[in-house]
Chains A and B, each alone.
Chain A
Amino acid sequence: EDQVTQSPEALRLQEGESSSLNCSYTVSGLRGLFWYRQDPGKGPEFLFTLYSAGEEKEKERLKATLTKKESFLHITAPKPEDSATYLCAVPGANSSNTGKLIFGQGTTLQVKP
């Protein structure tokens, strides 16, 4: 069964304290792994796509990496404005080209000043 699991569920950091969020997945024939950011009361906003093991993508203080079983979202020297819920998702194995994403439950990050 296609599955995406994120850990931890919640993470509290002090401003400047670097850390990583984990996304593990079980799906046959990975066709990409997607990271989204969701602010309270808003819809998810697309961040990154990773397609193959070893690939890395960066955006400001965020860097996403991918292995054959999991992805990490590294947050370097976070600021309070990085506080949000971070979601990862993969296309289901049976979705063909219809783009059905399976989402993890998310990690809620709080960065305190």
Chain B
Amino acid sequence: NAGVTQTPKFQVLKTGQSMTLQCAQDMNHNSMYWYRQDPGMGLRLIYYSASEGTTDKGEVPNGYNVSRLNKREFSLRLESAAPSQTSVYFCASSDPGYYGYTFGSGTRLTVV
């Protein structure tokens, strides 16, 4: 099925460990996004990529880095995980100027 695929679905990290969250879309969308979702905070934009080769910071970028590997793939890296990064992470994609995002199923990350 066409859509956005995120891996892994679940992850537990120790404080200070690093990891990369993977996201791939097969809808030929130009724009991709990483959001985090926390209780009472809603969805907050971490980073986005308007097109292949470009990335920009969103609302809460501290502690994260991203790579737009190609048009399909957009990864999110935590270099030194902190408990405050415990959250559910969603990747999404869309065509430029169209805000009907397609979301992945999310990665539930716990940092202990």
Contact = CB atoms under 8 A, between A and B. Distances in A.
Nearest to B41: A105
B40 A100 contact: no
Given A98-B50, A103-B42, A103-B43, A49 B90 contact: no
Interface residues of B, number: 28
B96 A44 contact: no
A43 B90 contact: yes
Chain A, interface size: which category? 20 to 34
19 contacts: A32-B99, A34-B100, A43-B105, A43-B106, A44-B90, A44-B103, A46-B102, A49-B99, A89-B43, A97-B96, A97-B97, A98-B50, A99-B31, A99-B98, A99-B99, A100-B45, A101-B99, A101-B101, A103-B44
A78 to B, nearest CB: 23
A87 B106 CA distance: 16
B109 to A, nearest CB: 14
B94 A99 contact: yes
Interface string B1-30: 000100000000000000000000000000
Contacts of B41: 105
B12 to A, nearest CB: 17
Interface of B: 4, 31, 33, 35, 40-45, 48, 50, 56, 58, 90, 92, 94, 96-106
Contacts of B4: 43
Interface string A64-99: 000000000000000000000001010100000111
A31 B35 CA distance: 21
A27 to B, nearest CB: 12
Contact of B48 (A34, A46, A100): A100
Contact of B106 (A34, A42, A46, A104): A42
Interface in A16-69: 31-32, 34, 41-46, 49
A103 B42 CA distance: 6
Contacts of B50: 97-99
A98 B6 CA distance: 22
A51 B37 CA distance: 26
